Amino acid sequence: MDAAAPLKINPVRNIITILAALPLFAGSAFGWGCQGHQVIALIARTHLTPAASTAVDKLLSENPIDPALSRFCRVHPADLLADSATWADDERNVIKNDGWHYVDIPLSVTSGDAMEWCPPKTGCIITALANALDYLRSKSQSDVKRAEALRYVVHLISDMTQPLHAEDDHDQGGNCETVSLPSAERPTNLHSLWDSGLLAQEVSNKKLTDEQLVSEIDHEFSDKFSAWSKAPVDPQAWAWESHEMAVKVIYGNLRPQIPLAPFNAGDATKESCDAEKASSAALHITIGSEYSDAALPVIHAQMAKAAYRTAGILNEIFK
Protein backbone atom coordinates (compact mmCIF):
# COMPACT_ATOMS: atom_id res chain seq x y z
CA MET A 1 0.00 0.00 0.00
CA ASP A 2 1.42 3.37 -0.91
CA ALA A 3 1.76 6.37 1.35
CA ALA A 4 -1.37 7.93 -0.11
CA ALA A 5 -3.52 5.05 1.06
CA PRO A 6 -2.04 3.77 4.31
CA LEU A 7 -3.43 0.93 6.36
CA LYS A 8 -6.33 2.46 8.30
CA ILE A 9 -7.29 1.62 11.85
CA ASN A 10 -10.45 -0.05 12.99
CA PRO A 11 -11.93 2.73 15.16
CA VAL A 12 -13.98 0.28 17.18
CA ARG A 13 -10.87 -1.49 18.41
CA ASN A 14 -9.05 1.84 18.98
CA ILE A 15 -5.66 0.51 18.05
CA ILE A 16 -3.35 2.48 15.76
CA THR A 17 -3.46 6.13 14.74
CA ILE A 18 -1.06 6.65 11.87
CA LEU A 19 -0.86 10.41 12.14
CA ALA A 20 -0.26 10.50 15.88
CA ALA A 21 3.11 11.94 16.83
CA LEU A 22 5.46 9.27 18.12
CA PRO A 23 7.80 9.92 21.04
CA LEU A 24 11.11 11.20 19.72
CA PHE A 25 13.19 8.49 21.35
CA ALA A 26 10.67 5.66 21.63
CA GLY A 27 11.83 2.13 22.34
CA SER A 28 13.53 -0.30 20.07
CA ALA A 29 15.04 -0.11 16.63
CA PHE A 30 15.10 -2.81 13.98
CA GLY A 31 14.37 -6.44 14.80
CA TRP A 32 16.69 -9.24 13.64
CA GLY A 33 18.30 -7.09 10.95
CA CYS A 34 18.03 -7.69 7.21
CA GLN A 35 19.46 -11.19 7.20
CA GLY A 36 17.42 -12.34 10.19
CA HIS A 37 14.08 -11.18 8.76
CA GLN A 38 14.85 -12.64 5.35
CA VAL A 39 15.97 -15.99 6.77
CA ILE A 40 12.80 -16.22 8.89
CA ALA A 41 10.69 -15.61 5.79
CA LEU A 42 12.64 -18.22 3.81
CA ILE A 43 12.09 -20.80 6.55
CA ALA A 44 8.39 -19.93 6.58
CA ARG A 45 8.29 -20.38 2.80
CA THR A 46 9.47 -23.98 3.06
CA HIS A 47 6.46 -24.77 5.27
CA LEU A 48 3.74 -23.08 3.20
CA THR A 49 1.23 -25.33 1.50
CA PRO A 50 1.30 -25.12 -2.31
CA ALA A 51 -2.00 -23.20 -2.23
CA ALA A 52 -0.75 -20.70 0.35
CA SER A 53 2.59 -20.24 -1.40
CA THR A 54 0.88 -19.54 -4.73
CA ALA A 55 -1.63 -17.14 -3.15
CA VAL A 56 1.10 -15.24 -1.28
CA ASP A 57 3.18 -14.80 -4.45
CA LYS A 58 0.13 -13.73 -6.46
CA LEU A 59 -0.86 -11.11 -3.90
CA LEU A 60 2.68 -9.73 -3.57
CA SER A 61 3.56 -9.79 -7.27
CA GLU A 62 0.32 -8.09 -8.36
CA ASN A 63 0.68 -5.44 -5.63
CA PRO A 64 4.44 -4.83 -5.54
CA ILE A 65 6.52 -2.65 -3.25
CA ASP A 66 6.77 0.90 -4.54
CA PRO A 67 10.04 0.96 -6.55
CA ALA A 68 10.59 4.56 -5.43
CA LEU A 69 10.66 3.51 -1.75
CA SER A 70 14.12 3.83 -0.21
CA ARG A 71 15.11 0.33 0.94
CA PHE A 72 17.44 -0.10 3.90
CA CYS A 73 18.61 -3.62 3.07
CA ARG A 74 21.13 -3.81 0.25
CA VAL A 75 20.28 -7.44 -0.62
CA HIS A 76 16.84 -8.00 -2.12
CA PRO A 77 16.03 -11.72 -2.31
CA ALA A 78 14.27 -13.07 -5.38
CA ASP A 79 11.76 -14.69 -3.04
CA LEU A 80 8.91 -12.19 -2.70
CA LEU A 81 8.07 -13.16 0.87
CA ALA A 82 11.69 -12.72 1.97
CA ASP A 83 11.98 -9.37 0.21
CA SER A 84 8.72 -8.24 1.82
CA ALA A 85 9.95 -9.21 5.27
CA THR A 86 11.93 -5.98 5.71
CA TRP A 87 9.48 -3.60 4.03
CA ALA A 88 7.82 -2.46 7.28
CA ASP A 89 11.14 -1.02 8.45
CA ASP A 90 11.50 0.88 5.17
CA GLU A 91 8.01 2.34 5.69
CA ARG A 92 9.08 3.99 8.95
CA ASN A 93 10.22 7.09 7.07
CA VAL A 94 6.96 7.25 5.12
CA ILE A 95 4.23 6.86 7.73
CA LYS A 96 6.22 7.03 10.98
CA ASN A 97 5.23 3.57 12.17
CA ASP A 98 8.03 3.13 14.73
CA GLY A 99 5.69 2.45 17.62
CA TRP A 100 4.18 -0.53 15.85
CA HIS A 101 7.37 -2.59 16.11
CA TYR A 102 7.65 -3.11 19.87
CA VAL A 103 5.96 -2.96 23.26
CA ASP A 104 7.90 -1.30 26.06
CA ILE A 105 7.40 -3.57 29.08
CA PRO A 106 9.84 -2.65 31.90
CA LEU A 107 12.26 -5.39 32.93
CA SER A 108 10.96 -5.23 36.49
CA VAL A 109 7.42 -6.14 35.34
CA THR A 110 6.93 -9.88 34.93
CA SER A 111 3.16 -10.34 34.59
CA GLY A 112 -0.11 -8.53 34.08
CA ASP A 113 -1.86 -6.95 31.13
CA ALA A 114 0.69 -6.23 28.40
CA MET A 115 -1.71 -3.68 26.95
CA GLU A 116 -0.91 -1.46 29.90
CA TRP A 117 2.35 -0.70 28.08
CA CYS A 118 0.70 -0.12 24.69
CA PRO A 119 0.09 3.63 24.14
CA PRO A 120 -3.53 4.21 23.04
CA LYS A 121 -2.59 6.95 20.58
CA THR A 122 0.25 5.24 18.74
CA GLY A 123 -0.40 1.57 19.38
CA CYS A 124 2.32 -1.04 19.76
CA ILE A 125 3.34 -4.32 18.16
CA ILE A 126 0.46 -6.17 19.84
CA THR A 127 -2.21 -3.97 18.32
CA ALA A 128 -0.37 -3.47 15.03
CA LEU A 129 -0.11 -7.22 14.45
CA ALA A 130 -3.74 -7.79 15.40
CA ASN A 131 -4.80 -5.03 13.03
CA ALA A 132 -2.69 -6.34 10.15
CA LEU A 133 -4.10 -9.84 10.63
CA ASP A 134 -7.64 -8.45 10.50
CA TYR A 135 -6.88 -6.73 7.20
CA LEU A 136 -5.20 -9.77 5.70
CA ARG A 137 -8.12 -12.04 6.64
CA SER A 138 -10.76 -9.60 5.37
CA LYS A 139 -12.09 -10.41 1.92
CA SER A 140 -13.74 -6.96 1.81
CA GLN A 141 -10.36 -5.20 1.70
CA SER A 142 -8.66 -4.43 -1.58
CA ASP A 143 -5.74 -6.58 -2.67
CA VAL A 144 -3.48 -3.54 -2.33
CA LYS A 145 -4.35 -3.24 1.36
CA ARG A 146 -4.14 -6.99 1.92
CA ALA A 147 -0.65 -7.07 0.34
CA GLU A 148 0.48 -4.34 2.70
CA ALA A 149 -1.09 -6.19 5.62
CA LEU A 150 0.75 -9.35 4.57
CA ARG A 151 4.06 -7.50 4.62
CA TYR A 152 3.30 -6.21 8.09
CA VAL A 153 2.27 -9.65 9.36
CA VAL A 154 5.48 -11.28 8.14
CA HIS A 155 7.61 -8.52 9.64
CA LEU A 156 5.82 -8.03 12.96
CA ILE A 157 5.65 -11.71 13.84
CA SER A 158 9.43 -11.73 13.50
CA ASP A 159 9.84 -8.53 15.50
CA MET A 160 7.68 -10.03 18.24
CA THR A 161 10.16 -12.87 18.73
CA GLN A 162 13.14 -10.51 19.13
CA PRO A 163 13.14 -10.29 22.95
CA LEU A 164 14.29 -6.68 23.05
CA HIS A 165 11.13 -5.68 21.18
CA ALA A 166 9.18 -6.55 24.32
CA GLU A 167 11.35 -4.67 26.80
CA ASP A 168 12.29 -1.12 27.67
CA ASP A 169 13.69 -0.14 31.02
CA HIS A 170 14.95 3.41 30.49
CA ASP A 171 17.29 2.05 27.80
CA GLN A 172 15.10 1.93 24.68
CA GLY A 173 15.12 -1.83 24.32
CA GLY A 174 18.87 -2.16 24.85
CA ASN A 175 19.78 0.62 22.40
CA CYS A 176 21.31 2.61 25.26
CA GLU A 177 23.38 -0.25 26.71
CA THR A 178 27.02 -0.28 25.54
CA VAL A 179 28.69 -3.68 25.07
CA SER A 180 31.68 -4.97 23.13
CA LEU A 181 32.49 -8.00 21.03
CA PRO A 182 36.13 -9.11 21.25
CA SER A 183 36.38 -9.26 17.45
CA ALA A 184 34.85 -5.82 16.85
CA GLU A 185 36.83 -2.63 16.42
CA ARG A 186 34.37 -0.51 18.36
CA PRO A 187 31.63 -1.05 20.97
CA THR A 188 28.05 -1.71 19.93
CA ASN A 189 24.78 -1.64 21.82
CA LEU A 190 22.82 -4.54 23.23
CA HIS A 191 19.95 -4.17 20.78
CA SER A 192 22.22 -4.18 17.74
CA LEU A 193 24.06 -7.17 19.17
CA TRP A 194 20.83 -9.19 19.24
CA ASP A 195 19.43 -7.78 16.00
CA SER A 196 22.40 -8.82 13.91
CA GLY A 197 25.76 -8.88 15.70
CA LEU A 198 25.64 -12.36 17.21
CA LEU A 199 24.04 -13.91 14.13
CA ALA A 200 26.55 -12.22 11.79
CA GLN A 201 29.41 -13.48 13.96
CA GLU A 202 28.07 -17.04 13.76
CA VAL A 203 27.55 -16.85 9.99
CA SER A 204 31.09 -15.52 9.56
CA ASN A 205 32.67 -18.12 11.83
CA LYS A 206 30.87 -21.01 10.12
CA LYS A 207 31.05 -19.44 6.64
CA LEU A 208 27.32 -20.03 6.13
CA THR A 209 25.22 -18.88 3.20
CA ASP A 210 21.64 -17.77 3.86
CA GLU A 211 20.41 -21.06 2.39
CA GLN A 212 22.63 -23.03 4.77
CA LEU A 213 21.45 -20.97 7.73
CA VAL A 214 17.82 -21.58 6.73
CA SER A 215 18.46 -25.30 6.50
CA GLU A 216 20.37 -25.45 9.79
CA ILE A 217 17.74 -23.62 11.85
CA ASP A 218 14.82 -25.42 10.22
CA HIS A 219 16.43 -28.82 10.76
CA GLU A 220 17.23 -27.99 14.37
CA PHE A 221 13.59 -27.21 15.23
CA SER A 222 11.62 -29.25 12.71
CA ASP A 223 10.03 -31.29 15.49
CA LYS A 224 8.50 -28.07 16.87
CA PHE A 225 6.72 -27.09 13.67
CA SER A 226 3.36 -28.63 14.46
CA ALA A 227 3.19 -27.18 17.97
CA TRP A 228 4.39 -23.70 17.05
CA SER A 229 2.45 -23.36 13.78
CA LYS A 230 -0.88 -24.58 15.19
CA ALA A 231 -0.81 -22.80 18.54
CA PRO A 232 -3.42 -20.06 19.06
CA VAL A 233 -2.53 -16.65 17.65
CA ASP A 234 -1.96 -14.65 20.83
CA PRO A 235 0.19 -11.51 20.42
CA GLN A 236 -0.03 -10.65 24.12
CA ALA A 237 1.24 -14.08 25.15
CA TRP A 238 3.99 -13.85 22.54
CA ALA A 239 5.04 -10.48 23.94
CA TRP A 240 5.31 -11.87 27.49
CA GLU A 241 7.26 -14.87 26.19
CA SER A 242 9.82 -12.58 24.51
CA HIS A 243 9.93 -10.30 27.54
CA GLU A 244 10.86 -13.26 29.75
CA MET A 245 13.71 -14.09 27.35
CA ALA A 246 14.98 -10.53 27.61
CA VAL A 247 14.97 -10.66 31.41
CA LYS A 248 16.50 -14.11 31.85
CA VAL A 249 18.84 -14.45 28.88
CA ILE A 250 19.74 -11.08 27.39
CA TYR A 251 20.17 -9.13 30.61
CA GLY A 252 20.46 -12.06 33.03
CA ASN A 253 23.59 -13.44 31.37
CA LEU A 254 25.50 -10.15 31.15
CA ARG A 255 28.68 -9.94 33.21
CA PRO A 256 28.89 -7.64 34.98
CA GLN A 257 25.18 -7.09 35.41
CA ILE A 258 23.61 -3.79 34.43
CA PRO A 259 21.91 -2.38 37.55
CA LEU A 260 18.14 -2.12 37.21
CA ALA A 261 16.92 1.43 37.71
CA PRO A 262 13.39 2.23 38.88
CA PHE A 263 11.18 2.63 35.84
CA ASN A 264 9.89 6.12 35.13
CA ALA A 265 7.62 6.72 32.15
CA GLY A 266 9.41 9.94 31.31
CA ASP A 267 12.86 8.40 31.02
CA ALA A 268 12.85 7.87 27.23
CA THR A 269 14.83 10.96 26.34
CA LYS A 270 18.11 11.52 24.52
CA GLU A 271 19.70 12.77 27.72
CA SER A 272 18.77 9.69 29.72
CA CYS A 273 19.93 7.44 26.87
CA ASP A 274 23.28 9.21 26.70
CA ALA A 275 23.66 8.82 30.45
CA GLU A 276 22.81 5.13 30.24
CA LYS A 277 25.33 4.59 27.42
CA ALA A 278 28.03 6.16 29.54
CA SER A 279 27.01 4.20 32.62
CA SER A 280 27.01 0.84 30.84
CA ALA A 281 30.25 1.67 29.00
CA ALA A 282 31.92 2.18 32.37
CA LEU A 283 31.05 -1.44 33.21
CA HIS A 284 33.22 -2.68 30.27
CA ILE A 285 30.83 -5.49 29.35
CA THR A 286 32.50 -7.82 26.86
CA ILE A 287 30.39 -10.40 25.04
CA GLY A 288 32.51 -13.52 25.19
CA SER A 289 31.95 -17.10 24.09
CA GLU A 290 30.01 -18.00 27.24
CA TYR A 291 27.40 -15.34 26.52
CA SER A 292 27.29 -16.15 22.79
CA ASP A 293 26.95 -19.88 23.44
CA ALA A 294 23.90 -19.21 25.61
CA ALA A 295 22.43 -16.61 23.26
CA LEU A 296 22.63 -18.33 19.88
CA PRO A 297 20.32 -21.26 20.71
CA VAL A 298 17.75 -18.72 21.87
CA ILE A 299 18.17 -16.67 18.70
CA HIS A 300 17.75 -19.78 16.55
CA ALA A 301 14.68 -20.91 18.50
CA GLN A 302 13.05 -17.48 18.32
CA MET A 303 13.68 -17.25 14.57
CA ALA A 304 12.25 -20.72 14.00
CA LYS A 305 9.25 -19.84 16.15
CA ALA A 306 8.61 -16.72 14.05
CA ALA A 307 8.90 -18.70 10.82
CA TYR A 308 6.59 -21.48 11.95
CA ARG A 309 4.01 -19.08 13.34
CA THR A 310 4.09 -17.17 10.07
CA ALA A 311 3.68 -20.34 8.00
CA GLY A 312 0.83 -21.57 10.20
CA ILE A 313 -1.05 -18.28 9.93
CA LEU A 314 -0.58 -17.96 6.16
CA ASN A 315 -1.57 -21.59 5.58
CA GLU A 316 -4.77 -20.97 7.55
CA ILE A 317 -5.62 -17.68 5.83
CA PHE A 318 -4.87 -18.89 2.30
CA LYS A 319 -6.25 -22.40 2.60
Please tell me the pTM assigned to this model: 0.88
Q: How many CB atoms lie within 10 A of CB 106?
A: 20
Is the bond preceding 256 in cis, omega lying within 30 degrees of 0? Answer: yes
Ramachandran angles phi, psi of 163, nearest 5°: -55, -30
Per-residue tens of pLDDT for the chain, all 319 residues = 333 334 443 322 332 222 222 222 333 456 799 999 999 999 999 999 999 999 999 999 999 999 999 999 988 999 999 999 999 999 987 887 889 999 999 998 989 999 999 999 989 999 999 999 999 999 999 999 999 999 999 999 999 999 999 998 678 899 999 999 988 889 999 999 999 999 999 999 999 999 999 999 999 999 999 999 999 999 999 999 999 999 999 999 999 999 876 655 545 556 688 889 999 999 999 999 999 999 999 999 999 999 999 999 999 999 9
Superfamily for the 33-317 domain: P1 Nuclease (1.10.575.10)
pLDDT at 25: 30
**Nearest alpha carbon to residue 187 among 199, 200, 175:** 175
CB 253 within 8 A of CB 294: yes
What's the confidence (pLDDT) of residue 30? 65
Domain extent listing, the chain: 33-317
Return all residues near 38 (Cβ < 8 A) that are at least 6 apart.
73, 75, 77, 82, 83, 85, 86, 210
Q: What is the pLDDT of residue 264?
A: 56
- pLDDT for position 28: 41
Specify the 3-state DSSP secondary structure of 189: strand
State which amino acid sits at residue 121: K
Burial 225-243 (b: 16+ CB within 10 A, else e): beebbeeeeebeebbbbbb
Q: What pLDDT score was predicted for residue 18?
A: 28
In 3D space, the residue among 230, 67, 248 whose CA is nearest the CA of residue 167 turns out to be 248
pLDDT score at 261 = 64
286, β-bridge pairs: 180
Please give the Cα distance from 217 to 231 (Å, whole number): 20
| pLDDT at 262 (0 to 100) | 61
